[in-house]
Amino acid sequence: MSIKTKAPLRLLCDGMKGENYWLNGCMTYLAACIGLPEDYNYQFFTCISGDSVTQVFSKDPGRDVWAYSHECTAEALKKCFHAIGYEYIYISSIKEPQDCLSMIRETLDRGLPVIARGGGQVAGQEIEFNCIVGYDEEALYYLFRNKDHATRVTVYDFRELVIPGEKTDESVSLNEAYRKALCQVPAMLTLKATDEFSFGIQALNDWAELLENGSLAAYDNPWHIVWSVHGTYLCMLGSNGGEFGLYDKVLQYYPEMTWLEDVKKQYDELSDIFQTLAYKDGGVCGGFDMTPEDVRDPEKMKPVCTLIRRAAEVTEQIEEMIQKNLYTTDA
* pLDDT over 70 at 44, yes or no: yes
* pLDDT over 60 at 267, yes or no: yes
Q: pLDDT by residue (tens digit) across 56-114?
A: 999 998 888 889 999 999 999 999 999 999 999 999 999 888 899 999 999 999 999 99
15-40+86-167, which class in CATH?
alpha beta
The CA distances from residue 36 to 26, 286, 320, in Å, are 14, 43, 35
Q: Is the dihedral of CA 270, 276, 280, 286 positive or negative?
A: negative
What residue type is assigned to position 289 of the chain? D
pLDDT for res 242? 64
Q: What is the dihedral of CA 172, 174, 179, 185, to 10 degrees?
A: 100
The overall average pLDDT reported for the chain is 91
Residue 221: partners with Cβ closer than 8 Å, 6 or more residues away: 62
* pLDDT over 70 at 243, yes or no: no
pLDDT band at 123 (very low <50, low <70, confident <90, very high): very low
Q: Where in the chain is the domain with CATH 3.90.70?
A: 15-40+86-167
Give the residue among 236, 234, 212 at the shortest CA–CA distance from 294: 212
* pLDDT over 70 at 310, yes or no: yes
pLDDT for res 118? 82
CA 101, CA 107: separation in Å to the nearest integer? Answer: 10
pLDDT band at 170 (very low <50, low <70, confident <90, very high): confident
Q: pLDDT by residue (tens digit) across 176-197?
A: 999 999 999 999 999 999 999 9
